[in-house]
């Protein structure tokens, strides 16, 4: 038993490192730098929206083929897609300024890159959860923390490389493409399900009084017919919308409140840290205080975060801007762990990969918050109205949250 514990700890550490690279999708606020042309907030926001949309599609696709394919095969597929997406994006930096045609960028970064990261995300989390049936919140929280910290660790490095004379953005994108391909080929060799017949301990706290209380294994078809699924989907969507908008335009928002120098790039990384903290914290809370209390905390945080951003924008306060954006990142961090926990605790583990992928589709409607925010900024010259809308959606999410109950 001890050897299995040791193996799963090692795999979890490797999984966290690999998830750092999968989380590059959240570094768009940095990676969009070479594509900024005048006031093209709407087009850049749409690129991020498309990337998140196909991230979700990739996650669902991974779940759909999980029973007909191995985790290794899916990770190799993700490596090929990510390499292609970033490699092709490197060739669009100069032509985009001449043609102003964003279609190829949408296809390369958005479709190929987003789908590759989605396949990897679902595969790693669903495979690693097999190693931690006793601590799913802990496992998902740590993995998704690595995913969220990418903007700080990988994103800052990419920013330094892209703005340097030694590399420049074209070479940076090529290096990123090769790195992603190699990392996920390695992941394919390491991230695999536990051997058959391995016995893992039950949760330290007995969640179920008897076996009949354990969550029933719902098929995806059965899950989506449950009214509670709609409530969970809406709740998680509203929880995610603000974070999507904040991450996509964090550097621009902090500039609007008066920040200069290295602060905009630094705040993008700091949001990544708080995103990671939110994911880790939510995993801990789900395991230790339960779903309902954790939901109330996350719903309250989701209302407070955009409200502070609005105050920062109306008062041109850099401290409030930093605080609000950090809280947006923290709130955003609760959403992925929420989907993972709901998928397993409310709908069972037998069909977890696909059920989790379906719940991850929250990113599609939530990602339109980014496009909406960019459009409002382009039309009005400021982000204030966008975050007023985000606060209102979070309030609706709080009300929806009150109606969520475990399916019978």
Q: State the residue for tokens 């330290």.
A: 204
* Average pLDDT along the chain: 84
The answer to whether residue 212 scores a pLDDT higher than 70 is: no
Instruction: Give residue-wise pLDDT tens across range 36-72.
Output: 887 777 788 788 888 988 988 898 898 888 888 999 9
Confidence of residue 93 (pLDDT cuts 50, 70, 90): confident
Helix, coil or strand: residue 206: coil
Closest CA to 20 of 157, 144, 160: 144
DSSP 286-344: HHHT-HHHHHHHHHHHHHHHHHHHHHHHHHT-HHHHHHHHHHHHHHHHHHHHHHHHHHH
Quote the distance between the C-alpha of residue 64 and its chain's center.
Answer: 20
R_g of the chain, CA atoms, integer Å? 20
Other Cβ atoms within 10 Å of 205 Cβ, number: 8
pLDDT score of 210: 43
Residue 291 CA: distances (Å) to CA of 131, 187, 235, 295: 22, 31, 13, 6
Tell me if 286 sits within 8 A of 294, measured CB to CB: yes
What are the domain boundaries of the chain? Answer: 2-195+218-402
DSSP 45-85: HHHHHHHHHHHHHHHHHHHHTTTTS-HHHHHHHHHHHHHHH
DSSP 90-109: HTTHHHHHHH---HHHIIII
Confidence of residue 217 (pLDDT cuts 50, 70, 90): confident
Tell me if 356 sits within 8 A of 343, measured CB to CB: yes
CATH top-level class for 2-195+218-402?
mainly alpha
pLDDT score of 343: 84
Residue range 174-179: mean pLDDT, rounded: 95
pLDDT score of 204: 58
Residue range 123-142: mean pLDDT, rounded: 81
Quote the distance between the C-alpha of residue 317 and its chain's center.
Answer: 28
The answer to whether residue 222 scores a pLDDT higher than 70 is: yes
The answer to whether residue 197 scores a pLDDT higher than 90 is: no
């Amino acid at each position: 038993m001890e050897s299995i514990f040791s193996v799963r700890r090692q795999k979890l550490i490797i999984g966290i490192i690999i998830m750092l690279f999968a989380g590059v999708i959240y570094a768009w606020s940095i990676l969009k730098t070479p594509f900024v042309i005048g006031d093209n907030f709407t087009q850049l926001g749409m690129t991020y929206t498309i990337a998140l949309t196909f991230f979700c599609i990739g996650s669902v696709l991974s779940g759909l083929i999980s029973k007909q394919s191995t985790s290794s095969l899916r990770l190799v597929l993700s490596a090929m897609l990510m390499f292609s997406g970033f490699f092709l994006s490197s060739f669009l930096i100069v032509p985009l300024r001449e043609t102003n045609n964003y279609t190829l960028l949408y296809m390369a970064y958005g479709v190929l890159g987003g789908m590759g990261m989605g396949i990897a995300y679902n595969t790693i989390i669903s495979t690693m959860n097999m190693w931690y049936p006793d601590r799913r919140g802990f496992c998902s929280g740590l993995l998704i923390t690595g995913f969220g910290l990418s903007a700080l660790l990988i994103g800052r490095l990419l920013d330094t490389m892209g703005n340097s004379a030694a590399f420049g953005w074209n070479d940076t994108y090529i290096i990123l493409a090769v790195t992603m391909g190699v990392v996920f080929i390695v992941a394919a060799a390491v991230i695999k399900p536990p051997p058959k017949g391995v016995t893992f301990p039950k949760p330290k706290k007995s969640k179920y009084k008897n076996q009949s209380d354990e969550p029933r294994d719902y098929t995806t078809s059965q899950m989506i017919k449950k009214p509670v699924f709609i409530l969970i989907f809406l709740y998680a969507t509203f929880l995610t919308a603000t974070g999507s908008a904040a991450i996509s335009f964090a550097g621009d928002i902090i500039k609007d409140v008066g920040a200069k120098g290295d602060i905009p790039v630094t705040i993008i990384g700091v949001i990544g840290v708080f995103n990671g903290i939110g994911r880790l914290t939510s995993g801990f809370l789900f395991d230790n205080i339960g779903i309902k209390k954790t939901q109330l905390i996350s719903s309250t945080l989701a209302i407070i975060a955009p409200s502070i951003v609005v105050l920062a924008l109306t008062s041109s306060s850099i401290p409030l801007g930093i605080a609000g954006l950090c809280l947006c990142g923290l709130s955003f961090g609760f959403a992925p762990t929420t989907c993972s926990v709901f998928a397993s605790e409310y709908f069972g583990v037998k069909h977890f990969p696909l059920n989790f992928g379906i719940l991850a589709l929250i990113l599609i409607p939530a990602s339109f918050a980014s496009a909406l925010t960019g459009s409002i900024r382009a039309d009005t010259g400021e982000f204030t109205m966008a975050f007023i809308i985000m606060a209102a959606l979070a309030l609706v999410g709080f009300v929806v949250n009150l109606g969520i109950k475990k399916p019978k």
